Copies of this chain bind each other. A is one copy, B any other.
Amino acid sequence: MLRVSKLTDYATEVMAALAAAPARVHSAQELTERVRLELPTVSKLLKQLASAGLIESFRGVNGGYRLARAPERISIADIVIAMEGPIGMTECSAQAGSCDHESHCGVRVNWQRINQAIAGALAGVSLADMIKPSPRRRAASIPLRVVGA
């Protein structure tokens, strides 16, 4: 199945939890209780999200994490990229030289277009969208139809 890693999945849950109270600083411990995961796991992904600049960290007593931007300005693409690196559906479509088929592979360029389509789909959903219970509203703005079918 084409899917993101569990860590990425968890990351969206944690980000959603942070987005529920964007102004407050949440400790890793508190977030752990919200998403029902082990502390080291939550800790690890929080660190990753922080180094990607999606959340701010505060050390020391009463420290914790807080969204770096408004939930409307953080997209699922941001989270996926923070956790898994650049979106590239195939090795060679992400960086050149990584695949020795390049010379005779006619589909590479087209995979790059697909990457962009998928990045667009992920970028079109914000964290604010994710915490809305109803899939109505901005849902319609997700680009669905692409080319042919």
Would B119 and A75 count as touching, CB distance under 8 A? no
Nearest CB on B from A67, distance (A)? 12
Number of residues of chain A lying within 8 A (CB) of chain B:
70
Q: Which residue of B lies closest to A140 (CB)?
A: B147
Q: A12-B107, A36-B104 are in contact. Are A117 and B135 (CB under 8 A)?
A: no
Nearest CB on B from A10, distance (A)? 9
Nearest CB on B from A18, distance (A)? 12
Would A148 and B89 count as touching, CB distance under 8 A? no
Q: Could you tell me which residues of chain A, from 66 to 113, have a CB within 8 Å of some CB in chain B?
A: 69, 72-78, 80, 84-91, 94, 100-101, 104-107, 109-113
Asked if A3 CB lies within 8 Å of chain B CBs, one says yes
User: What 1/0 flags go to A1-38 for Cβ under 8 Å of B?
Assistant: 11110100100110010000000000000000011100
Asked if A50 CB lies within 8 Å of chain B CBs, one says no
Partner of A125, one of B76, B91, B129, B147: B147
Partner of A16, one of B89, B107, B130: B107
Partner of A146, one of B3, B4, B101, B123: B123
